[in-house]
A = this chain, B = another copy of it.
Amino acid sequence: MTAPRVFPVNVEPCPHDVLLGDGLLDRIGELAAQVTAPAVAAVVSDDNVAALYLEPVLRSLREHGFDPLAVVVPAGEGSKCVATCELLWARFAAAGIDRHGAVFALGGGVVGDLAGFCAATWMRGVAVVQVPTTVLAMADAAIGGKTGVNLPGGKNLVGAFHQPHRVIADVATLATLSRRDVAAGLAEVVKCALLEDRAALGRLAAAAADLLAARPAALLDAVSLGAAVKVGIVTEDPHERSGRRALLNLGHTVGHALESVAGYGALRHGEAVAIGLVAAARVAAARGLAPEGLVGDVARTFEALELPVALPPGTDHAAIVAATRLDKKSRGGVRRMVLPLADGGAALHDVDDAELLAALA
Contact = CB atoms under 8 A, between A and B. Distances in A.
A98 interface: yes
A36 to B, nearest CB: 14
Given A13-B239, A98-B328, A124 B90 contact: no
Nearest to A82: B86
Contacts of A98: 328
Interface in A143-159: 146-148, 151-154, 156-159
Contact of A89 (B89, B147, B151): B151
A1 interface: no
B161 A125 contact: yes
A58 interface: no
A152 to B, nearest CB: 7
A340 to B, nearest CB: 25
B90 A151 contact: yes
A115 to B, nearest CB: 14
Given A124-B161, A159-B121, A160-B121, A152 B90 contact: yes
Given A86-B151, A121-B160, 6 more contacts: A90-B152, A93-B154, A99-B328, A121-B158, A123-B159, A124-B159
A91 B99 CA distance: 31
Interface string A79-101: 00010011001101110001100
Contacts of A104: none
Contacts of A135: none
Contact residues of A: prevailing secondary structure: mixed
Contacts of A120: 160
Contacts of A89: 82, 151, 153, 157-158
What number of copies of this chain does the assembly contain? Answer: 2
B93 A157 contact: yes
Contact of A123 (B82, B122, B157): B157
Nearest to A148: B124
Interface in A135-190: 146-148, 151-154, 156-161
Contacts of A239: 13, 124-125
Contacts of A158: 89, 121-122
A160 B160 CA distance: 9
A82 to B, nearest CB: 6
Interface in A229-271: 239
A332 to B, nearest CB: 12
Contacts of A146: 124
Interface string A99-114: 1000000000000000
Contacts of A157: 89, 92-93, 122-123
A157 to B, nearest CB: 6
B124 A160 contact: yes
A146 B123 CA distance: 10
A136 to B, nearest CB: 20
A66 B239 CA distance: 24
A120 to B, nearest CB: 7
Task: Give me the 3 closest cross-chain CB pairs, A-B, nearest first.
Answer: A93-B153, A124-B159, A121-B158
Interface in A1-47: 12-13
Nearest to A120: B160
B153 A94 contact: yes
Contacts of A152: 90
A180 B156 CA distance: 43
A121 B216 CA distance: 37
